[in-house]
Structure 1
Amino acid sequence: MRKNNRNKKTTDPDPYKSPPDEPEESPGYGYAKYSGLGIQMLVIIGAFAYGGYRIDKAAHHSIQWVTCILSLAGVFIAIYLVIASLKKDRP
């Protein structure tokens, strides 16, 4: 006699099912996220300031206007990216 396996429930998860889109909320998730934003801001502002410094040095400017302008541009870009990131995470 042959056994009928149709009514047998399986507990195996679907191997083709995609993982959830949301990251798991661990206790350190918020700290890592916000410290990452701070590091991102630091890198952007530093890169723009260094670029302005190198341009001013190569052009032999007596007043470092390019450094000032690029530093401010880096600040505005970094703030924009942080605000956009925070809006994206909003429920």
Structure 2
Amino acid sequence: MEPTQPSSDPNKKGGVKPYLKYSGLAFQMIAVMSVAAVGGRKLDAYFQNDTPWWTLGLLVVAVFACMYSVIVSLTTKK
């Protein structure tokens, strides 16, 4: 018996399905924002700030980091 060749059907795509890719991005964003919020709250408590500057600053950085990550992952062709 000869081994069969895989079909070269253009409709069958290998790799990760788009909905899995985007749900993974969503969970990544949630994780980054959660870490930034918890870390900011702990820093604000440590420095005894009346205004939560660390929380606000880390969340702004996390938003920009998440947006950069989304843009990079959407523009790369894999």
Which category describes the TM-score, using the shorter chain as reference length?
A: 0.7 to 0.9
**TM-score when scaled to structure 2?**
0.77
Match of 2:23 among 9, 12, 35: 35
**TM-align CA RMSD:** 2.1
In 2, Cα distance between equivalents of 1:87 and 1:11: 41
Structure 1, unaligned runs of 5 or more: 1-9, 14-22
Q: 1:45, 1:75 within 8 Å by CA — same for their partners in 2? A: yes
Match of 1:70 among 52, 58, 71: 58
- Using the TM superposition, give the Cα deviation of residue 12 of structure 1 relative to its aligned residue in structure 2, in angstroms: 4.2
Alignment of 1:51-70 (within 5 A): 51-70=39-58
| 1:84 alignment counterpart | 72
SS at match of 1:62: coil
Map Cα deviations across residues 13-39 of structure 1 (whole Å, 9 max, x no partner): 8xxxxxxxxx6167xx11111111111
Between structure 1 and structure 2, the one with the greater Rg is 1
Alignment of 1:5-44 (within 5 A): 11-12=2-3, 24=14, 29-44=17-32
**TM-score when scaled to structure 1?**
0.67
SS at match of 2:32: helix
In 2, Cα distance between equivalents of 1:86 and 1:74: 18
Question: What letter matches 1:11 in structure 2?
Answer: E
